Structure 1
Amino acid sequence: MSTKLQEDSGRELKKENQEMTGSSMLIQALARENVDIIFGYPGGAILPTYDEIYRSGIRHILARHEQGAIHAAEGYARVSGKPGVCVVTSGPGATNVITGIADAMIDSLPLIVITGQVATKVIGTDAFQEADIVGITMPITKHNYQVRDIEDLPRIIKEAFHIATTGRPGPVVIDLPKDVSEATGIFTYDQPVDLPGYQPTYTPNKLQIRKVREAVTKAKKPVILAGAGVLHAKGSDELLAYVEQQQIPVVNTLLGLGSFPASHPLAIGMAGMHGEYTANMALHHCDLLINIGARFDDRLTGALSDFAPHAKVAHIDIDPAEIGKNVETHIPVVGDAKEALKMLIAENGKPSECTEWKEQLYEWKKEYPLWYEKDDEVIKPQQLMEIIYEETNGEAVVTTDVGQHQMWAAQYYKFDKPNHWATSGGLGTMGFGFPAAIGAQFAEPDKPVVSILGDAGFQMTAQEMSILQELNIPVKIIIVNNSSLGMVRQWQELFYDERYSHSIFPIQPDFVKMAEAYNIQGWKVDDPKKVREVLQEALAYDGPVLLDCRVAKEENVYPMIAPGKGHHEMEGIKP
């Protein structure tokens, strides 16, 4: 692994109660929050902070576009579990990270986004590179601040980290006017966080936990729905222990993949629009649904009127706003997923008598597996995912954008470990996957990182290849190239009478030459018989690699629940 990935951050702690500039306070606060790395892009209003970064020696990764910086911070946060830090300038620098902030908000990723701002005396005058970043980000942040007084800066930074990383994680913006960053004040960071209006509940109510235990004992067809909340709570070990104690089958959400080992006998698979038949049937026919850390979003539930129609619903979530929001909940449990699972394990209730239920699920799994028609002449994307899984032994950290390639990766790459899957779920952001892989590689420098991308999404943030070139970051880019906006094309085929309005690319760049322009090894592969050989060479290569994999252009993602349909109305179940 490149030593450039493992360089020390160079943080230097200064004594408290000293006079220093706002920029120096910021760097000192980041050091005390154990920040290992910053992703960012400089500009006029944030120059005092960048001057302090230069003098401090703190690790900074220069993105080639602010969107690349914030998606890299997201990937770092998703894989490391620590807050990602992104620093950008005012105006366009700040507005260029809006998509990443919204993405982190809906997927509950802890970010600290520091935006430069024009001097306080000209705020509101339409000054050069001024934008109301506080107003813009208010709906898409967990909280945001604009620092108006140097004395408030240490407290604000400390509160920001506390808010971003506690309760349901999320992004916090700190808007830092240039004159505040240049002003001087006394730095103190030992004061406790005091936010009376923000007190997340971590320990669930014991009575509600007992209600869950009693419901499990009575159930004949129980199922656990494990979402990203299990991963954010670092509760995967507890989930495994509880499942094995109670012998309850487990279904995962897209973002919950890896929270429970996919190879476990009680793992039923991913549910939702492109989920596995057995997983969706488990949700449709269960009599007890225990949701742990999932949002019940529309891509999971399908038509709400047909969702889990026979089930008593227990919902464990640290965010009380999610409980009962979309699906009627009979046993609400507000609290941290890990703490709730510990309490359920301690209850050690009598397991349900659900042998017949599990036999039914195993029968469905055997009868209705994922499938695709193999072809000796063209690469099938499903086959590509299977080979990636096999050649990485399921050990890689995988990132994706959104679309067909994302669904194929989720279906065919089996995640046995937590924090090996970074994808854009709720917002569905094209351009996320590649820079997220850069952040993921910094989070896990000794693990292989594979970025599975569509040919369209890759072009949105392809400029970040410059970071791979500069630091020799060994991310393996695998482009699932079908010369189209694949999922858009699929929907146009199925629901718009094959009117392919601007979803087909008549001309594509030579991705291998693009890689070579950045001094990155690139290969084009279009022969299904050579995929494994080329992938083996790419994985063994000591450095970044780009594979342009030309796949079947008209392949669709199946199975599928059409919009407005329920889990029992899946299409494409069998060939």
Structure 2
Amino acid sequence: MNGARWLVQALEAEGVDTIFGYPGGAIMPFYDALHGASLKHVLVRHEQGAAFAANGYARASGRVGVCVATSGPGASNLVTGIADAMLDSVPMVVITGQVATPLMGTDAFQELDVFGMTMPIVKHSFLPRNVDDLRWMLAEAFRIAREGRPGPVLVDLPKDVQLGDATHLPVHVSLPIDAVPCAPDHSLHEAAAVISQAQKPVVYAGGGVVLGDAVDAFREFIDLAQFPTVLTLKALGALPPMHPCNLGMLGMHGSRAANMAVQECDLLIVVGARFDDRATGKLAEFAPNARVVHIDADACEIGKLRAVEAAVPGNLSTSLGRLAAPLAAQNAGRNGAARSAWRDICAQRTRKHAARYDAPGDKVYAPALLKRMSELAPDAIVSCDVGQHQMWVAQHWRFHQPRQHLTSGALGAMGFGLPAAIGAQLEDLDARVVCVSGDGSFMMNIQELATLRRYRLPVKIVLLDNSALGMVRQWQELFFEKRYSEIDLSDNPDFAEVARAFGIQALHVDQAVDVEDALAALLATDGPALLHVAIDTAANVWPLVPPNHNNAQMLDPDDAGSLDVGEPVGATPPSPTSDSEETTNALPA
């Protein structure tokens, strides 16, 4: 029993069933220990693929994803996937090989200070100096990855620690995680008092709703409150797509109904969101008339970017449950008529500004294709790359659960889609998994087609090919006077032929009339398959909030030639209700 074999048994004791990795010199003792173990190791074709696959596994399941690589370039190739997990709060344990402890600091072959290099992008790092350190480090790594706000943890394993005698180590026991504490009573009473005064409330929900396992409590809160609700990219699916209160995504490519509601509301109830710049636009003019109630499990996010009238740190489910109790009485009270009228205005805007799918011409219209795909595969887990197609998925795919939507949010990492889809599929072999990618993103980890084929994973790939770096091209068109610089991908390979070379079935579609049959054929294919979709290079994502503008200043195609989008919505502060007015804020214990 050496350190590596003890580590493999410890991973099994933690409930790990699948790991993603790529072997090399400094991690070879670990790979030797894997021989005959119950762990399923998935051999990717690039270490970045391992990190993204573990990332997708964790996002789809809520469990800790595990990836492994050797020292030096193996470890450095994991960095982008680690950073993505950190910025999107994804629980991962990353195991890297390291040169033997006597060689550390000598510039040995493939020595790299991955501990120091990753310090800003992990929750914690461990570097065991002897076998005895393993007994507590691995348990701590999994506890830290899961507890509170999830994130990645690094364990850098020197080769001599892997080879050291571990016969004396006890059987690994996983550590429990501390529950997120409930919000203090006074914070809930303050929040209830502020909410009771609102006539134009809006709920702004983010990925924290998902991370806090609070989706059910959130839906119950909205059902009782009947407040118009906007969602961030990572919260899509937290509310059913056709829910009457769901105004859609807010922000740079959000719906007009959502952005207008936020800009005009007198109260913003922020649930598990962090005022990201892509959601807020020009922060100084975001929700200018609104008082803010901020509910978040991570107290560090409250007040970080926007001053609040009521801060509610703690368990989201408990907080939402206690705040929901007085809402029925409030909606029937003095502000009830105003709130009802406000809901009607928001609902009318949702209908008025609903997306249209009757694009003229014979070419494939990507939003219509994605909407139809979501109707044909409503239960699919969608792993999305980064670019125009990412925003089209967010706008037009109808997600019923948030863990159906895997996307690189805060980091915006191209190359995420295919390996993350592999991770999600291996987490649940019976799930329907769809990867939506663009021609630029797809080329970044195209080698993982080999992984898809090796394990015969039935992932379906929708590749939207506009022969360009579409999002960069769109910004150059709109904001750089059409000075197109290094965005031409017209020399792309024939992606269908590439897929076939990897042993994967492939189809091609370039006419709108053929989309229905192509989608049906893709979904009916047994095993992995790719649908290559040729779309117009000039197609843009609409609407769009230009940089340094507020969210009410959205551009539509008719505005594409000009940034004169009108005056900002006024920033008149709200007039708080006097103490004598209704403040129904009694909270259940």
Of 356, 369, 376, which aligns to 2:354? 369
Counterpart Cα distance in 2 of 1:346 and 1:119: 59
**Cα distance between partner residues in 1 of 2:463 and 2:298:** 37
Whole-angstrom distance in 1 between the partners of 2:254 and 2:479? 20
Instruction: Name the stretch that deviates more: 371-380 or 202-211.
Output: 371-380
What letter is aligned with 2:245?
A: L
**The one of 62, 74, 87 aligned to 2:68:** 87
Cα separation, partners in 2 of 1:192 and 1:77, compared to 1, 3 Å: closer
In structure 2, do the counterparts of structure 1 residues 351 and 51 end up closer, same or farther at CA, with 3 Å as the change threshold? Answer: farther
5 Å matches for 1:32-111? 32-111=13-92
Q: Match for 2:146 among 161, 165, 178?
A: 165
Aligned residue for 1:256? 235
Within the alignment, does 1:359 sit opposite 2:338 as a pair? no
Between 183-192 and 282-291, report the one with greater CA deviation.
183-192
Q: Matches of 1:108 and 1:376 in 2, distance apart?
A: 42
Query: Equivalent of 1:118, from 99, 107, 112?
Result: 99
Structure-2 residue corresponding to 1:411: 395
- Output one character per residue of 1:256-312: Cα deviation in whole Å (capped at 9) or x when no partner: 111111111111100010000011111111111111111211000000110111111
Q: Distance in 1 between matches of 2:62 and 2:29?
A: 29
For residues 409-438 of structure 1, the C-alpha deviation after alignment (integer angstroms, 9 at most, x for no partner) is 100001112310000000000000111011
Aligned to 1:570: 554
**Aligned position for 2:363:** 378
CA distance in 1, matches of 2:495, 2:301: 42
User: 1:568 aligns to what SS in structure 2?
Assistant: coil
1:206 maps to what in 2?
Answer: 185
Residue number in structure 1 paired with 2:583: none
Is contact 2:135-2:172 (8 Å) kept?
A: no
Query: Residues 371 and 398 of structure 2 are in contact (CA less than 8 Å); yes or no, is this contact kept in structure 1?
Result: no
Cα contact 2:244–2:347 (8 A) shared by 1: no
Superposition pairs for residues 218-367 of structure 1, below 5 Å? 218-345=197-324, 350-352=329-331, 353=336, 354-367=339-352
- The answer on whether the counterparts of 1:147 and 1:177 sit within 8 Å (CA) in structure 2 is yes
Q: Which residue of 2 aligns with 1:10?
A: none
Give me the whole-angstrom Cα distance separating, in 2, the residues matched to 1:189 and 1:332: 43
**Is the 8 Å Cα contact of residues 248 and 255 (structure 2) preserved in structure 1?**
yes
* Counterparts of 1:189 and 1:294, CA distance in 2: 40
Q: Give the Å deviation of 1:481.
A: 0.4
CA contact (8 A) 1:200 1:318 kept: no
Q: Helix, strand or coil: the match of 1:569?
A: coil
1:521 aligns with 2:505: yes
Which position in structure 2 is the counterpart of 1:479?
463
Question: For each residue in 1:325-353, what CA deviation from the matched residue of structure 2 results, as whole angstroms up to 9, or x when unmatched?
Answer: 11112211111322322333456663342
SS at match of 1:534: helix
User: Are 1:495 and 2:495 matched, yes or no?
Assistant: no
Residue deviations 1:50-108 (CA, integer Å, cap 9, x gap): 11111313111000000011101111100100010001110000000000011110000
Corresponding residue for 1:182?
163
Does the Cα contact within 8 Å between 2:13 and 2:174 map onto a contact in 1?
Answer: no
3-state SS of 1:487 partner: helix
**Residues 479 and 547, structure 1, Cα contact 8 Å, conserved in 2:** yes
Show CA shifts across 1:8-60 (max 9, x none): xxxxxxxxxxxx31112211211111112101111110011111111313111
Contact kept in structure 1, 2:13 and 2:172, CA below 8 Å: no
Q: Which runs of 5 or more structure 2 residues have no equivalent in the other structure? A: 560-589
Normalised by the length of structure 1, the TM-score is 0.93
Note the alpha carbon deviations across 1:493-536, whole angstroms, 9 max, x for none: 00111111001113110111111111100011111111110110
Alpha-carbon deviation of 1:158? 0.6
TM-score normalized by the length of structure 2: 0.91
Worse-superposed segment, 204-213 or 524-533: 204-213
Question: For residue 449 of structure 2, what is the aligned residue in structure 1?
Answer: 465
Contact between 1:64 and 1:466, CA under 8 Å: does it hold in 2? yes
The amino acid of 1:101's aligned partner reads I
Between the aligned residues of both structures, percent identity stands at 45
Counterpart-to-counterpart distance in 2, 1:193 and 1:376: 60
Letter in 2 for 1:250: T
Q: Deviations over 1:365-424 (max 9, x none)?
A: 1222224661341111111112211221x2111111111000001000011123100000
Match of 1:558 in 2: 542
Q: Report what 1:13 is aligned to.
A: none
Please name the residue that 1:5 is paired with.
Answer: none
Q: Which moved more, 1:311-320 or 1:343-352?
A: 343-352
State whether residues 202 and 339 of structure 1, in contact with CA within 8 Å, keep that contact through their aligned partners in structure 2: no
Contact 2:297–2:314 (Cα < 8 Å) also in 1: yes
SS at match of 1:100: helix
Q: Distance in 2 between matches of 1:336 and 1:70?
A: 29
**Structure-1 separation of matches of 2:121 and 2:356:** 39
User: Aligned partner of 2:295: which letter?
Assistant: I
Asked if the contact 2:202–2:229 (Cα under 8 Å) also holds between the matched residues in 1, the reply is: yes
In the TM superposition, residue 490 of structure 1 has moved relative to its aligned partner by 0.1
Please give the alpha-carbon distance, in whole angstroms, between the structure 2 residues aligned to 1:321 and 1:179: 40
- Partner SS, residue 316 of structure 1: strand
Distance 1:568 1:49 in 2: 55
Deviates more, 1:348-357 or 1:288-297: 348-357
* Contact 2:191–2:311 (CA under 8 A) maintained in structure 1: no
Counterpart of 1:12 in structure 2 is: none
The separation in 1 between residues aligned to 2:62 and 2:330, in whole angstroms, is: 32
Question: Counterpart amino acid of 2:15?
Answer: N
Number of corresponding residues? 552
Q: Tell me the secondary structure at the aligned position of residue 155 of structure 1.
A: helix
Q: 2:119 — aligned with what?
A: 138
1:437-487 Cα distance to aligned partner (Å, 9 max, x none): 111112232221111001010011011111121121010011110000000
Within 2, Cα distance between the matches of 1:132 and 1:81? Answer: 30
Q: Does 2:492 correspond to 1:508?
A: yes
For 2:4, the equivalent position in structure 1 comes to 23
Q: What is the root-mean-square deviation of aligned Cα atoms in Å?
A: 1.7
CA distance in 2, matches of 1:81, 1:476: 22
- Counterpart position of 1:15: none
For the structure 1 residues 192 and 479, does the alpha-carbon distance in structure 2 shift closer, same or farther, using more than 3 Å as the test?
closer
Q: Quote how far apart the aligned CAs of 1:242 are.
A: 1.0
